Amino acid sequence: MQIKRIGKVKVEKIDDANVKIEAKISKDEIQKRVDKLARKSAKEIHLDGFRKGKVPPSIVKKLYGKKLEDDAKSELILELLDKAKKELKISDEAIIGDPYFEKYEDKEDGIELEIILSLKPEINIDGYKELVPEFEVPKVTEEEVENRLKELAKSQRTLEDVKEDRALEDKDIAVIDFEGFLDGEAFEGGSAKDYQLEIGSGSFVGDFEKQLIGMKKNETKEIDVKFPEDYHVEKLKGANTKFKVTLKGIKKSVDAPIDDELAKKILRKDDAKLEDLKEQVKKDILKEKLNKLYLDELKNKYLEAIVQKYNFSIPQNILEQEIDTLVNQKAQTLSEKELEELKGNKEKLEELRESVKEDAINSVKATFLVDAIAKAENIDASDDEVYQVIYYEALMSGQDPQSTIKYYEKNNLLPALKMAIIEDKLFNKLFKFDEILK
C-alpha cells in the first residue's frame, strides 16, 4: 500500500484501481478563495448604480455569498484532486467515473475530506478462450421443419367463400349484419354491416359467436347476450341485451400450399424453391435453439468461469453504483412495512447493502472482463447498430421508434445497450455460432 503526503494532503494508493485522498481545507483557505472570486466577479457583473468593473467586492459577497462559497469549495477540491493526480502520475484517461466521497464534513474550521479516485483496472485475460464451455449442437428434426412450414402456410392463408349449402360451423368466418338493443333501444357501437367474424375467436362478448353456429346463409336470428360486469362502456356493464343478426355469407380460411410459390413469398426471391425455404427454416430453428441454449446455460457458465478465474482490483465508485442498483431492485420486492423499517435505519440499510455486495462485485468483474475480452477480439458496436436495435425493438412492440430513442438518450441507457450488443457479438464469436449456422 503506497502512502504519500503532499503538504497537508495524504494520498494512499489502496490498490491498482483506487486511490484514497485525505485532506482538510481550512476556513481561511475557503475565505481567501471567496475573496478572490468576489474580486473577479466585481469586474464582470453589471449592477444598477455602479459602472462596469467598479462594483465593490463586499457588495458582490453580500449578494452572492452562498454561491461564491460553493464555487470556492469546488475549485479547492478540484485543485486538490489535480495535485494528487500529478503526484501519483495518474492521467485523466486512467480515471473512471466521478470521485467517490467517503467523507465530506463541513465544519466551522473547514472541510474534512476523504475521496476515492477510481482507475480503470489492469486485467490479464490470458487463457480466456480455454474457458469457453463445451456444448452439444442442438438437432433439428424433420417434424419441426414440417410444423414450421405449416405455420408459414397458415400465415399466408386466404379466405374463400363456402359454396356448398351448409350451416355455419366453428372456425368458419361469418359475414354478418347485426344490431344490438338494450331495453328495446339500439345502442351506440352495437351495429355493423358485412362484418367478418371468425367463430370461436372470442372477439365478441359472452356467447355471441356460439349462438350463431348452425345458422344458414340469409337467415336472420335474434340472440340474447349478457355483457361482462367489467365492460368498458358504463351502461353496458352486466347488461342483458338482444342482437338481431343476419348471416349474409360463410367463408373459410385456407392455408397456402406448401410449394415453390410459398417459398417465393416468404424468401422474397423470384427464383426461390421449396427446398430453399426448408433450408432457411431449418437454419432459423437451429438459431432459435442456439439462442435459447446461450441464454439459459452457456452465457452464465462462461461468465461464472471468467469471474472465478480472474482476480483484479475493482473501482470503488463503480462498485458502489452497482450496489445501489441491486439495493433498489431488492427494495422493489419488499413490503411497505419492510421499506418503512429500512428508512432512517442506517444499520439495516448497511446490512442490505452488504447482502448484495458479492453479487455486485461479480457483476462489475464480469462487465470489465467482457469489455477486455471484446477488445482482444476486436469487437465493438457502432452507434448505428445501437440505434437499429432500438428502432427494431420499438417497431416489434408497437411503439414509436423516435420516442423510444429519445427515452434511451434521456435516461442514459445507450451505454448499457451498447455493452449488451458487444457482449452478444462476443459470445456469438467465442461459441462459434456463425460457423455452426453456415
DSSP code string of 201-252: S--SSTTHHHHHTT--TT-EEEEEEEPPTT-SSGGGTT-EEEEEEEEEEEEE
Measured distance CA(63)–CA(59) in Å, rounded:
6
CB under 8 Å to 384, separation ≥6 — which residues? none
263: left (phi over 0), alpha (psi -120 to 50) or beta: alpha
Kindly report, residue by residue over 130-183, the tens digit of the pLDDT: 999 999 999 999 999 999 999 999 999 999 999 999 999 999 999 999 999 999
End-to-end CA distance of the chain: 53
Domain 271-436 CATH (choose: 1.10.10.10, 1.10.760.10, 1.10.3120.10, 1.10.3720.10)? 1.10.3120.10
Q: How confident is the model at residue 382 (pLDDT cuts 50, 70, 90)?
A: very high
**Single-letter code of the amino acid located at 357:** K
CB under 8 Å to 133, separation ≥6 — which residues? 297, 298, 301, 302, 305
Predicted local distance difference test score (pLDDT) of residue 64: 81
Mean pLDDT, range 239-267, rounded to an integer: 95
Least Cα distance to 313 among 59, 49, 19, 84 occurs for: 19
Measured distance CA(22)–CA(38) in Å, rounded:
28
CB under 8 Å to 110, separation ≥6 — which residues? 24, 25, 26, 27, 28, 29, 30
Q: In the chain, what are the domain boundaries?
A: 2-118, 158-254, 271-436
Helix or strand or coil: residue 358?
helix
Least Cα distance to 29 among 52, 9, 56, 59 occurs for: 9
With 70 as the cut, is the pLDDT of residue 6 above it?
A: no
Least Cα distance to 25 among 116, 119, 95, 103 occurs for: 103
Mean pLDDT, range 97-121, rounded to an integer: 90
Element (H, E) at 409: helix 401-410
261 φ, ψ (degrees, to nearest 5): -65, -40
Angle between helices 274-293 and 142-155 (to 10 degrees): 110
* Positive or negative torsion for Cα 114, 120, 125, 129: positive
Measured distance CA(432)–CA(154) in Å, rounded:
34
Mean pLDDT, range 114-121, rounded to an integer: 91
Q: What value does the mean pLDDT of the chain take? A: 91
Mean pLDDT, range 26-35, rounded to an integer: 90
Report pTM: 0.74
CA atoms within 13 A on the CB side of 46: 0
Query: 85: how many CB neighbours lie within 10 A of its CB?
Result: 18
Predicted local distance difference test score (pLDDT) of residue 2: 56
- What CATH number labels 158-254? 3.10.50.40
Predicted local distance difference test score (pLDDT) of residue 3: 55
Domain 2-118 CATH (choose: 3.30.70.1050, 3.90.320.10, 3.30.1780.10, 3.40.50.2300)? 3.30.70.1050
Kindly report, residue by residue over 58-77, the tens digit of the pLDDT: 887 888 888 988 899 999 99
Measured distance CA(61)–CA(36) in Å, rounded:
11
